Structure 1
Amino acid sequence: MALLEGLEVSEVKYENLNLGDRADAEYYSKDNLRIETLLNHLPHIRLSEIAKLTASAFYPAATHLYESGDMPFLRCVDTVKFPVISHLQNDSFIKIPAQFAEESKGINFLRKHDICLTKVGTPCYASIIYEHERIAMSRTVMGLSEIQNIDPFYLTIFLRSKYGFQQLTREREQTIQYQLTLDRVGDIRIFTPSTNFQKKIKSLALESFTFDKNAQEIQSTSEQTLLSALGLKDWQPPNPLTYEASSKTAFTSNRLDAEFFNSKYDAALDALKAAGAKSIRPLGALLKSLTNGHTPLKHNLSEGEVPFICSEHVQDFEVNLESSKRILAEHHKTELKRTQLKNNDILLTIKGRVGNAAIVEGLDGAANINQDVALLRLNQELPHWWIISFINSRFGRLMTEKYQTGQINPFLSLGTIRTLPIPVFEDKLMEDVGKQMQTLVLKARTARQQS
């Protein structure tokens, strides 16, 4: 019987199969057939009947233009976690020159109230263009434009719901990686409720966006709190074309890459000292313990009882403890015993987007971490909120940027974490900043939960 555990059987009439198209078992899973049957018995319409599907084709390489660009260039990463594309994302967009986009015949555009849909990489996520009048699409996304006879906010929410997202997931095709095609996406069924129902969904979507916007604005305010307290709000790192270091410094650092010796890093430390730092302490001197987790060998992360926290679950000041990835209780109690999380632990991302620091709060059960997250347990020498506030600040990011290795996949080793410099100011200043940051983070979290 153990061999049959998890086995699922679907019975499909031969006349309903298109053997020249899709005849794989996954396409006819019970969940997929259940949603198809349900929508067939409800008022619905095919997506291609209410929107024009479009995507960018081949275009010349543009990475060298990103720093001089003025038009947002929409990618998967800009969409997956953002159902509403807004000006709040302007700092995170890569941008290309509008003239380049216009002259590149392969680049297509979306306009206000059009919908973006991730196409490759992490496909199936829909987002509405809410505030931008015009935005360019990379090849990793597709667009829904000229939307008619349905509210675009409702359509976005439906596509992100179980009934829309599951259909999109079903229509993925796999070559090297999963991707969506225009034809398949155009064929999915869209439930068409009453106009009043669609308006209510739109109202809820906008209310949620407002709360989320408030959360991000509070988060932005919190980022300035430390800098304002130090009188460094307007400080910007220098950007020299060349810089030099002595051979002794180069060899003792065990780093020979030029970027490590960029003078902006020393300029940052000099600015902190000029602002009143009494000393600069290595993070290692403030630690009781430092470690990171690992992924259990040959384990399916969709199975298990214990949430498994990875780098994507750790943002500035915030840990998402509701990870869909899981490990077994046995893993948690044995091979990952040393990384069992507790409230007030500090987590730091060390691979990919390195340098995000957050305190574990509100943990009422078991949780553990993988190899891309470091677990820091601090002594009481400095306020903990001061330390993570500095790490997440402009100055802290410069320090993690300096000590990371690898350009394509940045990485911070546990050894380099111990060397990260932490400035020490007057006790009252550090306590006050820490308390202000804690209050602002709580406000942002509350607004995010409301959204």
Structure 2
Amino acid sequence: MDGLEAVELKLSEVLEDNKTFRFDPEYFKNEYLEIEENIKNKEFSKLIDLSNKITDFGAFSQNNFIEYKEKGNHYFIRNQDMEDMFISDKKIYIDEDVYNKLSLKVGEYDLLLQRTGSIGKAGMVLKKDLPSSANQNLAQVKLDLTKINPYYVNTFLNSNIGKNIFNRLATGNVQPWLNLGQIENIKIPIFSSVFQLKIEDLIILSYKKQESSKFLYMQSEELLLKELDLLDFEPSKDQVSIKSFSESFGTSGRLDSEYYQSKYDDIIEKIKSYKGGYKSIREVLTDDIKSGTTPKTIVKEYLPNSNYFLRAEAFNNDLTLNYDSLYTMDDETFAKHKSISVKKFDVLVSMTGTIGSVALINRDIKAIINQNIVKLSVNQELLNYNIFALYLKTVGKELLTREQTGNVQPYVNIPNFSNLIIPIVNIDIQTQIEDKIKESFKLKEESKHLLEVSKRAVEIAIEDGENVAMEFINAEV
């Protein structure tokens, strides 16, 4: 009986707010019951009573006429667009006539909740996200703003307590999902307007730091491209360039026309004409290029203060890593594969599948890489590792795309990658770019800290009271 978790409840307690008639032990875990009890001991309201409307996209068949676009004026929001409690800037677009046909229109301060597949995240809609519709995997919550603060509710739903509530309510093993009735009955603890506004202030400050971080990162890209005379560069659109046998197959071993598109020659010519000169990638590295492997003992979850397994799926779009999405391994596995472990200042590049994703290791971490990634240690007397990574993510990605082979699973082999050229950027420009990237990373960390403080403060308010939560905020900010 050791380790058995049992709980005794009255039938009335089992059936309370249990519209799906769940009797499985997962639903009645002590952790979930403790959360329920803590909330019920406070003033609370059900989400439906704080909302003007809770709905979803509608039938899946409505998606049949949707054609996604890379550009446009109307957004279409999906599950994967929930990011740091808001909506990602990497949304897709739809045509205006398609937008007008869709039943769901999203408004400012609406909360969108993941309800199918990946669940447990909520995102608040801002003006920058409009006009928008959303897919059938998201629930739309239009709060009554005279009753509750949307920043506070969003923080509660994204806290560990909120995620546990979602996990408890979810049904289905292969494809977890939440029905609207379950979402409507979520209990929202009610705290003072002062506390709710304090949470709002933290979230707004976090958002501003996040936006400043993105702006600085964008500036660093522009500064590099401007230095290389590639900022507003328009390469040739000719699909084929005429080359002799010795200039083509005799050199590259490639016969496919995609390899010989004129734009690649134009980019290479720009790099070769750079005033600071250029070298091959292998000439700017201090160690051999290494790819990794996938041990059988990997644990597919993030555990703090552990050994980690790095995949390209954890690479963010700004050279950072999403540490919360890293997998874990034990000490024995890490020691066995230490030869493919990373160190601070290494640059990681994806070489299989999604070609050319790049991330920096900017902290000490015990981690190894998988077989789809290579790790690069750059000679920083020649090139700062920030500039090296930024070049690979921008200009280098185009050249990597040229080198890829394989239709089902594209890949770039290490010899071809090591022969790619890289400019030796002016040292003053390197310093300017490095400063912007470091400040961008710093602001991003500060933004994340504020989000974590706000979520933890809500949890503390539920567990220990509003006053203790305010003390926690004052000590952390």
Q: TM-score, normalised by structure 1?
A: 0.84
Instruction: Indicate the residue corresponding to 1:10 in structure 2.
Output: 6
The one-letter code sitting in structure 2 at the alignment partner of 1:123 is I
Instruction: Indicate the residue corresponding to 1:48 in structure 2.
Output: 48
CA drift at 1:159 = 0.6
Instruction: Indicate the residue corresponding to 2:268 in structure 1.
Output: 269
**Counterpart-to-counterpart distance in 1, 2:153 and 2:78:** 20
Aligned residues of 1:317 and 1:441 also touching (Cα < 8 A): no
Aligned residues of 2:302 and 2:325 also touching (Cα < 8 A): no
**Counterpart-to-counterpart distance in 2, 1:303 and 1:212:** 23
Instruction: Indicate the residue corresponding to 1:431 in structure 2.
Output: 427
Residue 327, structure 1, aligned to residue 329, structure 2: yes
CA drift at 1:97 = 0.8
Structure 1 residues 253 and 182 mapped into 2: Cα distance closer, same or farther (>3 Å)? farther
Aligned residues of 1:314 and 1:356 also touching (Cα < 8 A): yes
CA drift at 1:96 = 0.4
Instruction: Indicate the residue corresponding to 1:307 in structure 2.
Output: 308
**Counterpart-to-counterpart distance in 1, 2:257 and 2:33:** 57
Question: Per the alignment, in what secondary structure is the counterpart of residue 435 of structure 1?
Answer: helix
Instruction: Indicate the residue corresponding to 1:117 in structure 2.
Output: 113
**Counterpart-to-counterpart distance in 2, 1:184 and 1:100:** 30
Question: Per the alignment, in what secondary structure is the counterpart of residue 106 of structure 2?
Answer: strand
| Count of paired positions | 431
Per-residue CA deviations over 1:224-246 (Å, capped at 9, x if unaligned) read 11112223221134445x43666
Instruction: Indicate the residue corresponding to 2:94 in structure 1.
Output: 96
Aligned residues of 1:109 and 1:135 also touching (Cα < 8 A): yes
Structure 1 residues 256 and 67 mapped into 2: Cα distance closer, same or farther (>3 Å)? farther
Question: Per the alignment, in what secondary structure is the counterpart of residue 421 of structure 2?
Answer: strand
Identity of aligned residues (%): 23
Aligned residues of 2:311 and 2:370 also touching (Cα < 8 A): yes
CA drift at 1:64 = 4.5
Question: Per the alignment, in what secondary structure is the counterpart of residue 362 of structure 2?
Answer: coil
Question: Per the alignment, in what secondary structure is the counterpart of residue 309 of structure 2?
Answer: strand
Q: Answer with 257-266 or 141-150: which moved more.
A: 257-266
Aligned residues of 2:56 and 2:139 also touching (Cα < 8 A): yes
The one-letter code sitting in structure 2 at the alignment partner of 1:84 is F
Instruction: Indicate the residue corresponding to 2:144 in structure 1.
Output: 147
1:181 to 172, 179, 182: 179
CA drift at 1:348 = 1.8
CA drift at 1:39 = 1.1
Per-residue CA deviations over 1:273-314 (Å, capped at 9, x if unaligned) read 4554745x4424444212222332144334873133332333
CA drift at 1:326 = 1.4
Residue 356, structure 1, aligned to residue 353, structure 2: no
1:73 to 73, 76, 86: 76
Unaligned runs of 5+ in 2: 448-477
The one-letter code sitting in structure 2 at the alignment partner of 1:341 is V
Aligned residues of 1:119 and 1:140 also touching (Cα < 8 A): yes
Aligned residues of 2:310 and 2:326 also touching (Cα < 8 A): no
Question: Per the alignment, in what secondary structure is the counterpart of residue 390 of structure 2?
Answer: helix
The one-letter code sitting in structure 2 at the alignment partner of 1:328 is D
Instruction: Indicate the residue corresponding to 1:341 in structure 2.
Output: 342
**Counterpart-to-counterpart distance in 1, 2:315 and 2:179:** 32
Question: Per the alignment, in what secondary structure is the counterpart of residue 37 of structure 1?
Answer: helix
CA drift at 1:403 = 3.0
Residue 234, structure 1, aligned to residue 232, structure 2: yes
2:240 to 233, 238, 243: 243
Q: Answer with 251-260 or 15-24: which moved more.
A: 251-260
Unaligned runs of 5+ in 1: none
Structure 1 residues 125 and 262 mapped into 2: Cα distance closer, same or farther (>3 Å)? farther
Aligned residues of 1:239 and 1:264 also touching (Cα < 8 A): yes
Instruction: Indicate the residue corresponding to 1:191 in structure 2.
Output: 189
Question: Per the alignment, in what secondary structure is the counterpart of residue 165 of structure 1?
Answer: helix
Instruction: Indicate the residue corresponding to 1:130 in structure 2.
Output: 126
Structure 1 residues 116 and 177 mapped into 2: Cα distance closer, same or farther (>3 Å)? same
Question: Per the alignment, in what secondary structure is the counterpart of residue 143 of structure 1?
Answer: strand
Per-residue CA deviations over 1:58-101 (Å, capped at 9, x if unaligned) read 3244665514632111112221x232237xx2xx2210012112
Instruction: Indicate the residue corresponding to 2:450 in structure 1.
Output: none
Instruction: Indicate the residue corresponding to 1:370 in structure 2.
Output: 370
Question: Per the alignment, in what secondary structure is the counterpart of residue 69 of structure 2?
Answer: helix
CA drift at 1:192 = 1.2
Structure 1 residues 322 and 342 mapped into 2: Cα distance closer, same or farther (>3 Å)? farther
Per-residue CA deviations over 1:29-61 (Å, capped at 9, x if unaligned) read 222111111111111111122222222233244
**Counterpart-to-counterpart distance in 1, 2:410 and 2:177:** 26
Question: Per the alignment, in what secondary structure is the counterpart of residue 401 of structure 2?
Answer: helix
